[in-house]
Structure 1
Amino acid sequence: MRAFNFSAGPAMLPTEVIMQAQDEMLDWRGTGMSVMEMSHRGPEYTSIATEAEQDLRDLLNISDDYAVLFLQGGASSQFSMIPMNLLRGKSTVDYLNTGAWSQKAIAEAKRYAQVNVATDSTANRFTTIADQADWQLNSSAAYVHYTPNETIHGLEFAEIPDVGDVPLVADFSSTLLSRPLDVSRFALIYAGAQKNIGPAGLCLVIVRKDLLGQTLPGTPVMFDYKTHADNGSMYNTPATYSWYLSGLVFKWLKRNGGLEKMGEINARKASKLYQAIDGSDFYNNPIDPRYRSWMNIPFTLANSALDKQFLQMAADNGLLTLKGHRDLGGMRASIYNAMPEQGVDSLIAFMAEFERQYG
């Protein structure tokens, strides 16, 4: 039996997907080749790529108004590519600062534009989000950027912000495909693959086509979204195997009820774990309940001297990678799509037994 891996990323993949990849490793559908050996311009791989994109469009109901790009460089490259592509003659951008990944995006955007931080959760140590009535948005900004879910702090927006006619940009690295999403609300969505999409090495970008082709002077060809949109994400050799595996994940999602069903399961998993934490004086989650993440749940023990013992005993019970981020300490359980409900139930049972022994 596989262990339950609570890593924030790279994260668990569905067992069915790994088994299919194993079956196809040496010979994909009678071609005599592994997918990782195929030419990205050959008909075999082209069919894999095309089908993966269509399945993603089906899952998220992405209209033809958007280009879907399968890029390299992770979400971190997008911190630069977004201002390079979306300033379009303007000099000011709005960013919402709700955690570590927001901060990284802001720092990079400052290389290219004047950044207005419209709301900042630093003072409350990224445990809550100010009401939108208190934000200082700029109606002339080139775009508004936010991070719907902060994987490190476990802080998540409860709804999509309403920013009027200003293009809305979002880093959905840790929540894309975890539930239904109205893509039409956004100018651009980006997401590193290694949480809910597939293995590391790939970054998805969903961008409105009318925003393409207006890059800053001097923008490298590889940092121009239009380059990739015009070439089907194959201007250069893409991350072919990560793309293939992501396509298998899209198929798995469709077989298992799509994003509606996934949202129901994920909401239930998170609710169970938060109830276990809140129902105990031994465990604590610091996040404002209105903005708790479904995907990344940090928690601390009443006695931090027990942290190492908790982690070792959890690992001995097949509950892996629960150590909290190095900046926060404590524990963190990441419960993405591929984490089965049984894994969350096993963690809750272990937590109760650990408290019984050491509480």
Structure 2
Amino acid sequence: MLTPPDPQHQYVVALSRLIHQGNALFKQYDRLSFIIWNRHHHDKAVQSHRDFQAWVDHAKSDLHPADHDEFCTILAEGDSISWERAWDIVTGTIEHVWENQQEAYSIGQRCIMKRFLRLRDYLKALRIRLAPPSPLSADFYQQFADQFHRMSPDMIDELFITSGCMIQYWIPPYKPQTKQSADRAYGWLDGLNLYMPDSLVAMVETVYQAYRDYKRFPRDQTLDPIQGALRDLKLADTKPSLLTRYELHPRVVERATLLWQIGEYDTALSQVCIELDNAVKAKSGLKEDGTTLMRTAFSPKKTRLAIDPRFGNQQGFMDLFAGVMDAIRNPRAHHHKSNLSADEAIEWLAFLSALFRVLDATIINTPDETEARGT
């Protein structure tokens, strides 16, 4: 059985539609005050009046009684020229002799556009009160929408719906954009903030990852502005990290946490492997990297880093360290995508954490000692 629509949600959607239509009207007729004095633009002035009045009538029919009364009060406010009289003058319904162009500009700006903007701003204030602004910044909205600039609205809808959204989550965006694709993306973000505020960031992460998969982004391009913004929002949450809860090695936690929180499990593994490689290089003093580094540093014959016997033998750990580079780091360095689950990834991170602890306990042999051991 479907859940009945939430009346407040429906009201917010109605307000959003009015604001969106009002913004479009303002953008379309923002030069109205410069043309109404010219008789050649009479037809355009009449059409403008019809559009603006239709918007006002629509608002009156949609608003709740108390809000309707306040809206009408604003509409009636002003100087000696009322909203209706101003339009009568503009459209030529009543005779009016223009003294100069400035008078026409004044009537258009003072009596029509200024009052219209007050009405629109009143609707905005209502909407904000009922649906608080999104935690996603204006810059994030713009960056996110820019990703879809070559996608049709239908493709954008499909991307959101296949990521778990419902089509009714889309609402007319709070701010109209110049491009259809940006309008569509803005509307989805506004709708998700209305219908799913508690899981907004997680849902946007899912959609963005679906977009990255659709565009076949390289796996190592994770800390772009969008994911950085999502990461910062996640970090603001004080819930304990899964990595912290398992008390993994500090270098694993430091390197993997940010990527883990945005669901980039493969990249988290890759970055921890790079951290392990750097740690072995720094402790051994060797210049190689990857598999070659591990086989040189932990070689049983010319040992640079001696394994603590309580963990196991030198040969076995040389193979483990080298195997990590060959099996985990190298494929991901070439954008291999394994789609690990969180449970699978935490197990591999725990394994890497154990190798870090083994490395911490290794004994450093000087080059002279290594040569002597080799002989």
| Richer in helix (by share) | 2
The one of the two structures with greater contact order (alpha-carbon pairs below 8 A, sep at least 6) is 1
Between structure 1 and structure 2, the one with the greater Rg is 2
TM range (shorter): under 0.3
Q: TM-score, normalised by structure 1?
A: 0.27
Q: TM-score, normalised by structure 2?
A: 0.26
